[in-house]
């Protein structure tokens, strides 16, 4: 098989627009740990499962592997600075008052779009990443309304198309209820 150009592949994968999340957990000594990801994804409603993947070279990997809980902060557009803070290698200081502590003990940042608290369900090999599957135990919607979007290596905003609530005119999704999806 021909060698894959990883830089080119990364650019292609960047065509898939995502939101941005900060995943938090606690180290064995109680210290709060956080990392910015766009690999967060919903997996299952019943049972309620979500996932994210973390680079094997990430400094926080060991802490996430040892922890049995994590929380997901789905970021609002106003939280770019917070996103950047936790995208730097382990330098982020948790400023007192900038977060609350959830029922599972992990940090929840105010002004997010939503929070999900999880118990770790499993870890799986994801090549140069480790995939963390979480069982959602608590979740709530926060006051923010505009998601932070990540596309092609840059942050952006989301705007709803005025026709997005109409059924597709070519019937291509006719067996797939878009209005019932999300």
Ligand X SMILES: Cc1cc2nc3c(=O)[nH]c(=O)nc-3n(C[C@H](O)[C@H](O)[C@H](O)COP(=O)(O)O)c2cc1C
Under 8 Å between Cβ of 4 and 10: no
Please say which residue, 98 or 152, places its beta carbon nearer to ligand X. Answer: 152
Shortest spacing between CB 145 and ligand X, in angstroms: 20
Calculate Rg over the CA atoms of the chain: 18
DSSP 3: P
Tokens of 84: 């950047």
Residues that bind ligand X (CB under 6 A): 20, 35-39, 53-55, 58-60, 83, 87-90, 150
Nearer residue to ligand X within complex by CB, 58 or 114 = 58
State the nearest-atom distance from the C-beta of 159 to ligand X, in Å.
19
| Least spacing, CB of residue 119 vs ligand X, in Å | 20
- Measured from the CB atom, the residue of 20 and 116 that comes closer to ligand X is 20
* Distances in whole angstroms, Cα of residue 10 to Cα of each of 3, 4, 16: 14, 10, 10
């Amino acid at each position: 098989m021909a060698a894959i150009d990883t830089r080119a592949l990364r650019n292609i994968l960047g065509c898939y627009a995502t939101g941005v999340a900060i995943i938090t957990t606690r180290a064995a000594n109680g210290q709060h740990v956080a990392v910015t990801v766009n690999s967060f994804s919903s997996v299952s409603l019943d049972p309620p499962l979500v996932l994210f993947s973390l680079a094997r070279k990430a400094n926080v990997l060991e802490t996430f592997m040892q922890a049995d809980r994590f929380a997901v902060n789905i970021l609002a557009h106003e939280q770019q600075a917070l996103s950047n803070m936790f995208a730097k290698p382990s330098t982020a200081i948790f400023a007192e008052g900038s977060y609350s502590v959830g029922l599972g003990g992990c940090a929840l940042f105010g002004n997010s779009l939503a929070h999900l608290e999880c118990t770790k369900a499993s870890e799986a090999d994801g090549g140069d990443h480790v995939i963390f599957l979480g069982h959602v135990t608590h979740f709530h919607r926060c006051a923010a309304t505009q998601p932070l979007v990540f596309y092609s290596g840059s942050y952006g905003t989301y705007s709803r198309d005025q026709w997005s609530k109409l059924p597709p005119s070519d019937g291509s999704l006719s067996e797939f209820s878009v209005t019932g999806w999300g």
